[in-house]
Structure 1
Amino acid sequence: MLLRKEFIFDAAHNLVEYHGKCERLHGHTYRLAVVLKGSPDREGMIADFCEVSSLVKERVISRLDHAYLNDILPQPTAEYIARWVWEQVAEPLRRPNCRLWEVEVWETATSCAVLTAEDMDHA
């Protein structure tokens, strides 16, 4: 079973290794989805939505919202942001009954990068 929690944050970046309009400073309203995979515990939950929300807000949103992402990542593409988010939350979200399964980072309403546990298991 999957449990999904979504977040929104605004941030600016420029892609220094990319040649095109995105190499110039610009911003996005990002949508972030954190997905856990597991089985409901004795309380009937994979994880408490409130705990997931608090942890992601503390470890990710508080650092990325209204930030210049190049101060955090040298090439802040959606792909690298997804990996950075994974590194911040995978272990703190691990429980005996579940683990982080997927991180999605949406730059626009139609464009996102998805990082899965399978990607990280083979990294």
Structure 2
Amino acid sequence: MLLIKKFKFDAAHNLVSYKGKCERLHGHTYELVIVLEGEPDEEGIIMDFVELKDIVKKEIIDVLDHSYINDIISQPTAENIAIWVWNKLEGKLRSKNFSLYEVQIWETSDSGVIYRGG
């Protein structure tokens, strides 16, 4: 079973190793989707949504929201942001009944990436 929680944050970046308009400073309202894979526990849940929200807010949203992402990730493509998010959360979103399954980063409503570790 998959558990899904969506988040939004606003941030600016520029792609320094890219030739095109995205090499200039610009911003996005990103959508972050966290997907856990697991089985419901004795309470009937995979993970409490409030607990998941608190972890993601502390580890990701509070760091990236209203930031210049280049100060955190040197080439902040959607791909590299997804990897960074995975690395920050993978150890914190694991228990006997669930684990982190997927991170999605959407720069716009129709352009995003999916990362499943690796």
TM-score bracket for this pair, using the shorter chain length? over 0.9
Question: Cα distance, 1:31 vs. partner?
Answer: 0.1
| Aligned-residue CA RMSD (Å) | 0.5
Q: Does 1:115 align with 2:115?
A: yes
- Specify the SS of the correspondent of 1:41: coil
- For 1:52, the aligned partner's letter is L
Cα deviation digits, residues 58-103 of structure 1 (max 9, x gap): 0000000000000000100000000000011111110100000000
- For 1:19, the aligned partner's letter is K
- The TM-score normalised by the length of structure 1 is 0.95
Higher helix share: 1
- Specify the SS of the correspondent of 2:33: strand
Structure 2 Cα separation of the partners of residues 50 and 95 of structure 1: 16
Corresponding residue number in structure 2 for 1:89: 89
How many pairs are equivalent? 118
Structure 1 Cα separation of the partners of residues 63 and 89 of structure 2: 13
Structure 2: which 5+ residue stretches go unaligned?
none
Structure 1: which 5+ residue stretches go unaligned?
none
Corresponding residue number in structure 2 for 1:38: 38
Corresponding residue number in structure 2 for 1:65: 65
